[in-house]
Amino acid sequence: MSRLDWVVLIVTLLLIVAYGVWKGRRQQRLAAYLLADRQLKWPTIALSIMATQASAITFLSTPGQAYADGMRFVQFYLGLPIAMVILAITAVPIYHRLRVFTAYEYLETRFGVGTRTLAAILFLAQRGVSTGITLYAPVLIVSVLLGWNLHVTSVVIGVLVIIYTAAGGTKAVSWTQVHQLLIALGGMAIALIIAVRMLPHGVGLLEAARVAGRMGRLNAIDFSFDLTTPYNFWSGLFGGLLVALSYFGTDQSQVQRYLTGASETESKLGLLMNGMIKVPMQFFILFVGAIVFVFYQFIAPPLFFNNVERAKVQSSAYAAQYAQLEAQHQKTFAAKREEVHALVDAMRAHDAAATARATERVRALQNEEKATRAAAVSLIRKSNAAADASDTNYIFLTFVVQTLPAGLVGLLLAAIFCAAMSATSSGLNSLASTTVVDVVKRLLWRDATDHQYVLASKWLTVFWGLFAIGFAEFASRLGSLIEAVNILGSLFYGTILGIFLLAFYTKRIGGTAVCLGAILGEAAVAWCAIYTNVAWLWWNVVGLVVGVVAAGAIQAITPTEDLKPISSSTR
Partner 1 sequence: MSDRGFRRLYAAVIAELALTILTFYLFTRIFQ
Residues that bind partner 1 (CB under 8 A): 74, 78, 81-82, 84-85, 88-89, 209-210, 212-214, 216, 218-223, 233, 265, 268-269, 272, 275-276, 279-280, 283
Whose Cβ is closer to partner 1: residue 79's or residue 427's? Answer: 79
- Nearest to partner 1 of 220, 462 (CB atom): 220
Name the minimum Å distance from CB 233 to partner 1. Answer: 7
- Going by C-beta distance under 8 Å and a sequence separation of 6 or more, which residues neighbour residue 446? none
Of the pair 21, 241, the CB lying nearest partner 1 is at 241
Question: Minimum distance between the CB of residue 299 and partner 1, rounded to whole angstroms?
Answer: 22
**289 and 64 Cβ atoms separated by less than 8 Å:** yes
Pick between residue 158 and residue 240 the one whose CB is nearest to partner 1: 240
Q: Give the C-alpha separation, 481 to 130, whole Å.
A: 10
Comparing CB distances to partner 1, the nearer of 105 and 339 is 339
Minimum CB distance to partner 1, residue 276 (Å): 6
Query: Looking at beta carbons only, is 276 or 352 nearer to partner 1?
Result: 276
Q: How far apart are CA 388 and CA 481, in angstroms?
A: 10
Give dist(CA 167, CA 27) in Å, integer: 9
Q: Which is nearer to partner 1, 88 or 199 (CB)?
A: 88
In the complex, least distance from residue 278 CB atom to partner 1, rounded to whole angstroms: 10
Question: Of 186 and 213, which CB lies nearer to partner 1 in the complex structure?
Answer: 213
Task: Write out the H or E segment, with its range, that includes residue 123.
Answer: helix 113-146
H, E, C per residue of 487-504: HHHHHHHHHHHHHHHHHH
Write the DSSP symbol of residue 73. Answer: G
Calpha distance 488→126 (Å, rounded): 6
Of the candidates 178, 180, 145, 128, the one whose C-alpha atom is nearest the C-alpha of residue 12 is 180
CB of 74 to partner 1, least distance (A): 7
CA-wise closest residue to 292 among 409, 188, 192: 192
For residue 468, give the nearest of 130, 210, 182, 148 by alpha carbon. Answer: 130
245 and 86 Cβ atoms separated by less than 8 Å: yes
Rank residues 344 and 437 by Cβ distance to partner 1 and give the closer one. 344
Shortest distance (Å) from residue 335 CB to partner 1: 23
Q: 561: number of CA atoms within 13 Å, CB side?
A: 23
Q: Who's near 186: CB < 8 A, 6+ residues apart?
A: 415
Q: Which of 77, 109, 145 is nearest to 442 (CA)?
A: 109
- Minimum distance, C-beta of residue 254 to partner 1, in the bound complex (Å): 17
Nearer to partner 1, 295 or 322 (CB): 295
Provide, rounded to whole angstroms, the least separation between the CB of residue 295 and partner 1: 17
Residues contacting 490, CB < 8 A, separation 6+: 525, 536, 537, 539, 540
Nearer to partner 1, 214 or 310 (CB): 214
Task: Classify each residue of 384-418 as buried b or exposed e, where b means 16 or more C-beta atoms within 10 Å of its C-beta.
Answer: eeebbbbbbbbbbbbbbbebbeeebbbbbbbbbbb
Give the chain's count of helices (H) and strands (E): 23, 0
Instruction: Tell me the closest approach of the beta carbon of residue 280 to partner 1, in angstroms.
Output: 7
In whole angstroms, how close is the CB of 494 to partner 1 at the nearest point?
Answer: 25
Measured from the CB of residue 363, what is the shortest distance to partner 1 in angstroms?
12
